[in-house]
Structure 1
Amino acid sequence: MSNKASPRPEPAAQEHVPLKARNVAFDWAGTPLHWVPGDPSTTHTINVLHLLLPAGERWFVHVYKQALPLIRDARLREDVLGFIGQEAMHSQAHDGVLPHLRAQGLDPEPYTAQVDWFFEKLLGDRTLPPGRARQWWLRERIALIAAIEHYTAFLGDWVLNAEALDAKGADPVMLDLLRWHGAEEVEHRSVAYELFLHVDGGYRRRARTWALAFGALVFMWQRGMRFFMENDPTLRDGKASAKDFWRGGREGVLPEPAAMLRSIPQYLSPSYHPSHYGSTAQAAAYLARSPAAVAAEAGSPGGA
């Protein structure tokens, strides 16, 4: 299969919006450890985001700052700068949950240390000679980010529509964090892929880095679920199980595994473009009413 760029896929019409970072803040004082009432498994499955995202999104920002000199399109450069600002804010917001977890007796550091190693060492800068080798590693990481962003946009679209979490009485501040973040993932869902097309766009690289990203996400997520369940101070012999994950998908409090599997051929399709999945209008509507985003717009950050 050729690694040459395939014909450029067409984005959905009227999907482009200017991107801006929203300086949000959240008050966790009233958020319980099991913020989905009576469902520690669902709570901790989603809590893995707080362990993965801070380091991952710092890595996104680091790589994209290196990519800026490669961008020859003014609008794409503006979008990448907006993406960098939003991802930096996402990292800070999820980092802010970690002291709350520690205060409730669940220290995430043993797991976050592994995540930091993964992004900073395994996927970090390498001592490579200037020229082709260094450019290859930068393009490889740009492609990895495009694949990861396919799944962050998938999760963002899911959580914006996860009414079962509201019905189950999930903590409103945590839901606002997840939906504010999810809405921005939907809002900027095309940027990482557009940057990949701009600097490379090769199909073999797209498929290879998708496989690496998907495998790493599944591996790290299940390790994070096991870590939370085994270290939750309120659980006796807590264990993560595939049965609970499938149950959460059926109930709508977690993404359906079948929907996650359907997302694979979407990304691998030659005609794939992120703008065809998710709704920018829905994302904008949530950002217009998000308590944290509204407070940030008013200049007085605060949680729901």
Structure 2
Amino acid sequence: MSNTAKRQPDGPGKPVKPGKRPVPVASEHTELRPRQVAFDWSRTPLHWVPGDPATTHTINVLHLLLPAGERWFVHVYKQALPLIRDARLREDVIGFIGQEAIHSQAHDDVLPQLRRLGLDPDPYTAQVDWFFEKLLGDRTLPPGRPRRWWLLERIALIAAIEHYTAFLGDWVLNAEALDRKGADPVMLDLLRWHGAEEVEHRSVAFDLFLHVDGAYSRRVRTWGLAFGALVFLWQRGVRFFMENDPTLTDGKASFRAFLRGGREGVLPGAGDMLRSIPTYLGRAYHPSQECSTAQAVAYLAGSPGANGRVPDRTSEGA
């Protein structure tokens, strides 16, 4: 067991009982490094999952949520660095910060293509920016315990959100139904590069939470906040895309379409998402117990966008 997992909580809350502490899988740890990626969006259509705007736009919400969210991750973690007393965890957090900064920029780079195709994302991204910068941003609090409490809350929120980004990363790495449906290879490469790095660094946010606090009550409370916020923002994003898609005369988002996508494998299954809840809330849970670092690293080694290569568009008749 690593030093990070053995530490007693150093902030408010009750220590985790012996025998119920999260146990990391040591072999799943890997050195993290940001990758300088490049993607060419000039030939990516608005409906990059052919004939399926509902699936396309459900996934497209990532391009609106992630830039602001990952900038917020970086901001919070820079504030957390002085609290880290473990050298390896500090290196992991610095690697995490580097990867998240590039994720934010890569998804931001998709937005000009959406505008060229007639869909202006600004009204929705303004709401997302407010959520992360104002609602979850820095607050004027007295130094000491109140200021530390707000930092610990946000660190725990990030750990909960990262549980779902790793879940989605693992899903998209294995979503062969998207390939079969002819999804745009550049978009798939962006999603799988990002997903692979989410799997690669899936333990960092949770390890940082354990290091600075680890209180189970805070883990449960912030999971509820994170899950509720993600569901709320995601469904608003899908509705925004469907209602503003210039090619749809009566675009409406529906839960039925989401369930259909899950059954077809082009979206995560609702049942799988629900089953991930008790996983995160298990007292002995650690992110390294889920997903495969080896699969993620293998994809990253061959990713066109992560290695400066042009994706193969032969399936499109190019």
State the Cα deviation string for residues 2-57 of structure 1 (Å, max 9, x = none). 93131431111311111000010110001000000000000000000000000000
The answer to whether residue 92 in structure 2 is matched with residue 79 in structure 1 is yes
| Partner residue, 1:35 | 48
**Number of aligned residue pairs:** 298
CA RMSD of aligned residues (A): 1.1
Which of 145, 149, 153 is residue 162 of structure 2 equivalent to?
Answer: 149
Q: Which amino acid aligns with 1:124?
A: G
Work out whether residues 292 and 303 of structure 1, in 8 Å CA contact, stay in contact via their aligned partners in 2.
yes
| Partner residue, 2:64 | 51
- 1:185-204 correspondence to structure 2 within 5 Å: 185-204=198-217
Work out whether residues 54 and 253 of structure 2, in 8 Å CA contact, stay in contact via their aligned partners in 1.
yes
Runs of 5+ unmatched residues, structure 2:
1-11, 313-318
The answer to whether residue 15 in structure 2 is matched with residue 5 in structure 1 is yes
* Secondary structure at 2:33 match in 1: coil
| Partner residue, 1:207 | 220
CA–CA distance in 1 between the matches of 2:74 and 2:125? Answer: 18
CA–CA distance in 2 between the matches of 1:245 and 1:236? Answer: 20
| Partner residue, 1:219 | 232
State the Cα deviation string for residues 49-88 of structure 1 (Å, max 9, x = none). 0000000000000000000000000000000000000000
| Partner residue, 1:277 | 290
| Partner residue, 1:18 | 31
The answer to whether residue 77 in structure 2 is matched with residue 67 in structure 1 is no
CA distance 1:111–1:236, change in 2 (3 Å)? same
| Partner residue, 1:247 | 260
Structure 1 residue 291: Cα displacement: 0.2
| Partner residue, 1:298 | none
CA–CA distance in 2 between the matches of 1:115 and 1:29? Answer: 26
TM-score normalised to structure 1 length: 0.96
Comparing 58-67 and 6-15, the one that deviates more: 6-15
CA–CA distance in 2 between the matches of 1:210 and 1:3? Answer: 16
CA–CA distance in 2 between the matches of 1:241 and 1:3? Answer: 41
- 1:124-139 correspondence to structure 2 within 5 Å: 124-139=137-152
Work out whether residues 13 and 213 of structure 2, in 8 Å CA contact, stay in contact via their aligned partners in 1.
no
CA–CA distance in 2 between the matches of 1:215 and 1:148? Answer: 11
Structure 1 residue 303: Cα displacement: 6.0
Work out whether residues 25 and 302 of structure 1, in 8 Å CA contact, stay in contact via their aligned partners in 2.
no
CA–CA distance in 1 between the matches of 2:176 and 2:311? Answer: 20
Work out whether residues 49 and 183 of structure 2, in 8 Å CA contact, stay in contact via their aligned partners in 1.
yes
CA–CA distance in 1 between the matches of 2:138 and 2:55? Answer: 35
CA–CA distance in 1 between the matches of 2:69 and 2:169? Answer: 16
State the Cα deviation string for residues 163-208 of structure 1 (Å, max 9, x = none). 0000000000000000000000000000000000000000110000
Comparing 46-55 and 10-19, the one that deviates more: 10-19
Runs of 5+ unmatched residues, structure 1:
296-300
Work out whether residues 25 and 303 of structure 1, in 8 Å CA contact, stay in contact via their aligned partners in 2.
no
Misfit runs of 4+, over 4 Å: 301-304
Q: Which amino acid aligns with 1:3?
A: G
Q: Which amino acid aligns with 1:285?
A: A
Q: Which amino acid aligns with 1:248?
A: G
TM-score normalised to structure 2 length: 0.92
